Amino acid sequence: VLLQTILVGDSGVGKTSLLVQFDQGKFIPGSFSATVGIGFTVCIWDTAGQERFRSVTHAYYRDAHALLLLYDITSKSSFDNIRAWLTEIHEYAQSDVVIMLLGNKVRGKCLRRTRSEGASEYSVPFMETSAKTGVNVELAFTAVAKELKHRAVQHPNEPKFQIHEYIEAQKEKSGCCSYF
């Protein structure tokens, strides 16, 4: 099964950087020109944050199994736009799409609570990440992949996969501070 995941969020929040960090394990500072329409690596679609490409990205929502919705923790406007992004997602994406909210560009290993309380009001799984240092990047993609896998091949006697619990457990293992 081809499971499609797309990255969405305002221009400049770090979607391309996050994908490169996940795919290649490195951060290439400031080297990306703004994504035009749709970029593509390892079955994960990197969409453009810019308004003028929005109609292109809408077409991809419909086929997406998962959406990573990013904001930049240092940009209030990118956080304020989350509500609009979610409205758009609910309008164009499948109703059972897996959504993960990511506050990108955290600094240091232990994550700050910047806007995390606010993020919880959206009732979607939430984590803070850094495309620069790689903090939580793999965990974000793994959690989504596990959720998709469990949905696709749910065995009758198997307990349902709980994405929140998985994230919490992994976070404890890594010794990070609370970010919920």
Ligand X SMILES: Nc1nc2c(ncn2[C@@H]2O[C@H](COP(=O)(O)OP(=O)(O)OP(=O)(O)O)[C@@H](O)[C@H]2O)c(=O)[nH]1
Name the minimum Å distance from CB 69 to ligand X: 11
What's the CA angle centered on 93, arms 92 and 95, to 5 degrees? 120
Instruction: Say what the alpha-carbon torsion angle 74, 78, 83, 88 is, to the nearest 10 degrees.
Output: -150
Which C-beta is closer to ligand X: that of 132 or that of 171?
132
Binding to ligand X (CB under 6 A): which residues in 130-159? 130-132
Binding to ligand X (CB under 6 A): which residues in 31-50? 32, 34-35, 48-50
How many Cα atoms are found within 13 Å in the side-chain-facing hemisphere of 171? 21
- Contact status: 127 vs ligand X (CB under 6 A): no
Q: Which of 5, 16, 78, 81 binds ligand X (CB under 6 A)?
A: 16
- Contact status: 104 vs ligand X (CB under 6 A): yes
Structure tokens at 114: 């910047």
- Contact status: 30 vs ligand X (CB under 6 A): yes
Q: Which of 105, 111, 125, 167 binds ligand X (CB under 6 A)?
A: 105
How far from the centroid of its chain's Cα atoms is residue 87's Cα?
16
Q: Are 78 and 9 contacting, i.e. CB atoms less than 8 angstroms apart?
A: yes
Structure tokens at 127: 């984590």
User: In the beta sheet, which residues pair with residue 69?
Assistant: 8, 101
- Contact status: 114 vs ligand X (CB under 6 A): no
What are the φ/ψ torsions at residue 67 (nearest 5 degrees)? -130, 125
Interface stretch with ligand X, choices 15-23, 58-66, 86-94, 143-151 (CB under 6 A): 15-23
Name the minimum Å distance from CB 175 to ligand X: 20
Task: Give the interface with ligand X as residue ranges (CB under 6 A).
Answer: 11-17, 29-30, 32, 34-35, 48-50, 104-105, 130-132
